[in-house]
Structure 1
Amino acid sequence: MVWTPEQTGQFIDFVAEDRLYPLWRPITFRGTRRGEACGVRWLDHSAAAQSLAIATQLVQDGWEIHEGAPKTDSGIRLIALDDETHQVLLRHKAGQEQQREAWGDGWQDTGRIFTEVDGSLLHPGKVSDLFERLAAAAGLPPIRLHDLRHVSATLMLAAGFDIKVVSETLGHPHHPHHPHHPRHLPGCPGRSRPRRREGRATRAPGPEAPQGGQGTPRLQPPAAGRG
């Protein structure tokens, strides 16, 4: 099962006051994998380009976590952020600086964008558990956190994103016959031309297409070892 745009809007409305609201937006609107979202660093965020570079992820092994490369070569990518998500991240950064000051020497400086309250690494398994609890509390049908990738693809296609851009944003292998390629989404006509904007979610519509009709910025992610 995949949520409708209206149900997705209901979820985004419900989690608007959640501490991890800034995390839920790129997962919901850009299909970021949970390990990628937990692993993304501030040095991967470009305020000028309004983008996030996916260059690393937190991998769960049993209950232990370690840092690793994205799932596939195509997983190393740059994600263009919609305006609202970009502003949410900027406010989140300012709030995190206040948390750092409040914790003092107890703050764990991991350099990650999304962390525990003390700055320590955010466990991907805890993110999945929290998502399930929030979805249930919002009165929504149960889906897996990973299913939000399908929701994200549907929203981007409805917003007029080129199908190739959607695939690149999700970090899919560049193969149209891959089972999770956006071409295989229900109702997707398989066209590569941008389509007119369709339905809107309750409060948070699907992300707008990049200005000027351009796709995901073709920039290189930060080199390994920085920061």
Structure 2
Amino acid sequence: MNSLPLAAGAWCWHDDYYAGRWSLLDQPTGAAAAGLAAIECNDFMLPPPRLSRVRQRLLDLLPGAPPELWRYSRATLHRLQTNAQANGVHILAWAINSDFTVAGRYWPAQLLYLRRGMAAARLLAVPLLRVTLGGNAETPRSRDALIVQRLATLVQASPTPVTLENHWGVSADIERHVQIFDAVVAALPTGLRARFGCCFDPGNLAEGPQRPQWWRMLAHRANHFHLKTTDFDAAGDEVQLPYT
């Protein structure tokens, strides 16, 4: 039987994060306290680095600069790495909120962000980089070929395998999401296709009669799973997630 490591996502602490009481640097300690040995880190939860106001103002001069870009700092990443090692916690995945749909004039800033994310994955020696397609419901399908080209290039450049989450934006249309994913796989050299998979988050698919079908389609393509729930029965067993 195949087994997968269980990690605590940064979203487990989202209440404390949005209340200003928590940052990504606290995640290893929280995971260890819960008896977990692995975590997934979301880059937007990095704490403000030194000279953050200057960084933010300078990077905001770039057209279309992603809001997470200014948070990246080698010093902060080293602190996260040190905290993880001190708590015996393994960083399983580094998650970035990428946008492969942006217009050409905004692509240089997005490309800089992608490079920062890949550099963080390399520094932290994580086994997986999680990305999103970005865009929105109005993003024209005529842009899909460019999305495929950009994402295939990223997979080939990444120091670690890549997982594509079915999360918001273009991916809200799950059929389109799967079509783009399959096109990226086809565009990759055969030897690199195993380095790209879907991040399957069942809760991100709208309810409806086709939901189980899409669950199966994503699960068969998955190299990473996001399982979020707050539904438990009286015996303490989880009752919402699809187990078959």
TM-score (norm 1): 0.26
Question: Which has the greater radius of gyration?
Answer: 2
Q: Tell me which of the two structures has the higher relative contact order, counting C-alpha pairs closer than 8 angstroms and 6 or more residues apart.
A: 1
Structure (1 or 2) with the greater helix fraction: 2
